[in-house]
């Protein structure tokens, strides 16, 4: 049985003190009520150690938003998967469209990052999704297939079974435009069929596929009601504890 997950992606928001305050508030909100899904918060690197320590006896897991494509050495300013793991974080968001778009992350780079995350015991939350023009041209299936084949489909079956996927149509990220639940279901089912072709039915059935892109309290229930939508990767609505809790409560 695959896991349902609600994961926050803080992006480049919150200084350390604000991040600690948000994590503390969320921890308190979830202390009395056990959520019906796994809850993860993805924070900037500098928050990881403090937030992971703060949340170590809570149900909330901690994720990085990126890691280096090299193991260690003279790469000024980079943060390795091993360093991320040493903070107590257990997940790592990889391949977010903002990283692909603004930082030139290619399929090859993302393949390396995924391998390093896995080698260091981190579970990747691997993002895929098409641009607006690609959706308008009806190319969304082609795009997500190429993104999978270029990176995570190079993994062994054992490695791939540790990966969480997040389908995030770029036109829906931070725009207030959400994919309809039918659009999400259609492409999630397609993604699962690609996994089944590559790794077999069992792994496909066990892979968690999150939806991301303007997911919020008001639409989460409808999106999560679809059989192939196993939760969400949440940007804007993860920056306020109550908004995030509302999405968790959709399960
Ligand atoms: P959003 O971002 O919820 O603010 O649209 C989602 C994401 O980029 O992961």
Q: What is the percent of the chain where pLDDT is above 90?
A: 96
Question: Of the residues 38, 47, 65, 96, which is catalytic?
Answer: 96
Please identify, by atom number, the ligand 1 atom nearest to the C-alpha of residue 214. 5
Tell whether 105 is covered by a domain. yes
CA of 131 to the centre of ligand 1 (A): 14
Tell whether 204 is covered by a domain. yes
pLDDT at 89 over 90: yes
Q: How many separate domains does the chain show? A: 1
Q: Which residue of 102, 129, 168, 176 sits with most ligand 1 atoms within 8 Å of its CB, as the best mutation to test the pocket? A: 168
CB 105 within 8 A of CB 99: yes
What SS3 class is residue 213?
coil
CB 51 within 8 A of CB 10: no
Please identify, by atom number, the ligand 1 atom nearest to the C-alpha of residue 166. 9
CB 151 within 8 A of CB 114: yes
> Residue 17: its pLDDT value, please?
98
Alpha helices in the chain (DSSP H): 16-31, 45-54, 81-86, 97-102, 107-119, 132-136, 140-150, 157-160, 181-199, 201-206, 217-224, 241-248
Q: What is the pLDDT of residues 118-153, one digit of tens each?
A: 999 999 999 999 999 999 999 999 999 999 999 999
Tell whether 111 is covered by a domain. yes
Tell whether 224 is covered by a domain. yes
Q: What is the pLDDT of residues 213-247, one digit of tens each?
A: 999 999 999 999 999 999 999 999 999 999 999 99
The range of the structural domain enclosing residue 161 comes to 5-11+38-71+79-248
Among protein residues, the one with the nearest Cα to ligand 1's atom 3 is: 235
CB atoms within 10 A of CB 33: 11
> Residue 33: its pLDDT value, please?
84
CA of 73 to the centre of ligand 1 (A): 32
CA of 16 to the centre of ligand 1 (A): 21
Q: What is the percent of the chain where pLDDT is above 70?
A: 100
Q: Mean per-residue pLDDT for 153-159?
A: 97
Tell whether 211 is covered by a domain. yes
As to burial, measured by CB atoms within 10 angstroms (0-12 exposed, 13-18 middle, 19+ buried), residue 59 is middle
Tell whether 32 is covered by a domain. no
Tell whether 126 is covered by a domain. yes
Q: Determine the distance from the C-alpha atom of residue 26 to the mean position of all C-alpha atoms in its chain, rounded to a whole number.
A: 18
CATH of the domain at 223: 3.20.20.70
Cβ of residue 234 lying under 6 Å from some atom of ligand 1: yes
Residue 93 banded pLDDT, cuts 50, 70, 90: very high
Q: What is the number of residues in the chain?
A: 251
Q: Determine the distance from the C-alpha atom of residue 120 to the mean position of all C-alpha atoms in its chain, rounded to a whole number.
A: 18
Q: What is the pLDDT of residues 13-59, one digit of tens each?
A: 999 999 999 999 999 999 988 899 999 999 999 999 999 999 999 99
Q: Tell me the C-alpha distance between 99 and 126, whole Å.
A: 12
Cβ of residue 121 lying under 6 Å from some atom of ligand 1: no
Which tokens in the block code for residue 60?
A: 């909330």
Please identify, by atom number, the ligand 1 atom nearest to the C-alpha of residue 236. 4
- Partnered with residue 94 across adjacent β-strands are 126
Q: Tell me the C-alpha distance between 10 and 13, whole Å.
A: 6
Tell whether 200 is covered by a domain. yes
CA of 174 to the centre of ligand 1 (A): 5
Active-site residue, 25 included: no
Q: What is the pLDDT of residues 161-208, one digit of tens each?
A: 999 999 999 999 989 888 999 999 999 999 999 999 999 999 999 999
Question: Of the residues 38, 98, 134, 168, which is catalytic?
Answer: 168
CA of 213 to the centre of ligand 1 (A): 5
Q: Tell me the C-alpha distance between 222 and 206, whole Å.
A: 22
Q: Which helix (H) or strand (E) holds 148?
A: helix 140-150
């Amino acid at each position: 049985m695959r896991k349902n997950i609600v994961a926050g992606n803080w992006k480049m928001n919150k200084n350390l003190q604000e991040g600690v305050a948000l994590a503390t508030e969320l921890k308190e909100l979830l202390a009395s009520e056990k959520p019906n899904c796994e809850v993860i918060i993805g924070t900037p690197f500098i928050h990881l150690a403090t937030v992971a320590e703060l949340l170590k006896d809570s149900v909330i897991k901690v994720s990085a938003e990126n890691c280096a494509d090299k193991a260690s050495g003279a790469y000024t300013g980079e943060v390795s998967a091993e360093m991320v793991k040493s903070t107590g974080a257990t997940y790592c968001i990889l391949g977010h469209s903002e990283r692909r778009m603004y930082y030139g992350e290619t399929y090859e780079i993302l393949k390396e990052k995924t391998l390093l995350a896995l080698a260091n015991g981190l579970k990747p939350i691997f993002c895929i999704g098409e641009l607006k023009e690609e959706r308008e041209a009806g190319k969304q299936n082609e795009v997500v297939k190429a993104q999978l084949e270029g990176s995570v489909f190079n993994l062994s079956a054992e490695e791939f079974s540790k990966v969480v996927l997040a389908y995030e149509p770029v036109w829906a990220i931070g725009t207030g435009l959400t994919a309809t639940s039918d659009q999400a279901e259609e492409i999630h089912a397609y993604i699962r069929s690609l996994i089944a072709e590559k790794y077999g039915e069992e792994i496909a059935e066990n892979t968690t596929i999150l939806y991301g892109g303007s997911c919020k309290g008001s639409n989460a229930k409808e999106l999560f009601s679809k059989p192939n939508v196993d939760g969400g990767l949440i940007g804007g609505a993860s920056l306020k504890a109550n908004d995030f809790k509302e999405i968790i409560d959709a399960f």
